[in-house]
Amino acid sequence: MRLISLALMSTMAAGCTMMPPPAGPDLRGQSRLAEMLAGKVAGPPQRCLQSDRADDMIPIDATTIAYRDGRTTWVNHVQGSCAGLAMGNTLVTKPFGFSGPCAGDIAHVVEPASGMMTGSCTFGEFVPYRRP
């Protein structure tokens, strides 16, 4: 009986320590991004988004986030992995000052039901895409 208990506890401990698979580009997300950017041209990267532009976030995959602002689509390739973001989890950021998210800001991905953090990443520069 004791051997079964030890085996069960070992299995449970191993399950808790398993790392999630490495997150990278999602082909469906990248296809969606390609559709969003079709016919648009990249402009010069910006360090920050204005706070009113940061409301319409579109998670592409664990490494790419897009924002829509009228006719402009802003794309950010994050450093690290915002694992779980494209699966409906919430991105939590702590803004500094009155601007929106800026390059270098850290964002955490939180699973809404449990409040557990599933990943974190650092924003890169924001690249605007507009029709020529």
Spatial CB neighbours of 56, under 8 Å, sequence gap ≥ 6: 67, 68, 69
Which pLDDT score is estimated for 38? Answer: 95
94 burial type by CB count under 10 A (0-12 exposed, 13-18 middle, 19+ buried)? exposed
pLDDT (0 to 100) of residue 129: 97
Residues of the chain with pLDDT under 70: 1-25, 51-55, 86, 95-98
* Domain assignments of the chain as residue spans, ordered by start: 21-130
Distance CA 103, CA 62 (A): 17
Output the pLDDT for position 80: 87
Q: What is the CA radius of gyration of the chain?
A: 19
Distance CA 106, CA 80 (A): 10
Six-digit token string for 129: 């895409």
Contacting residues for 74 by C-beta, under 8 A, at least 6 apart: 46, 49, 53, 66, 67, 68, 126, 127, 128, 129
Which tens digits make up the pLDDT trace of 26-48?
788 889 999 999 999 999 999 99
Structure confidence at residue 94 (pLDDT): 75
Amino acid at 25: P
Report the distance separating Cα 44 and Cα 127, nearest Å: 6
- pLDDT for res 11: 45
Token pair of 71 as six digits: 């006719």
pTM: 0.75
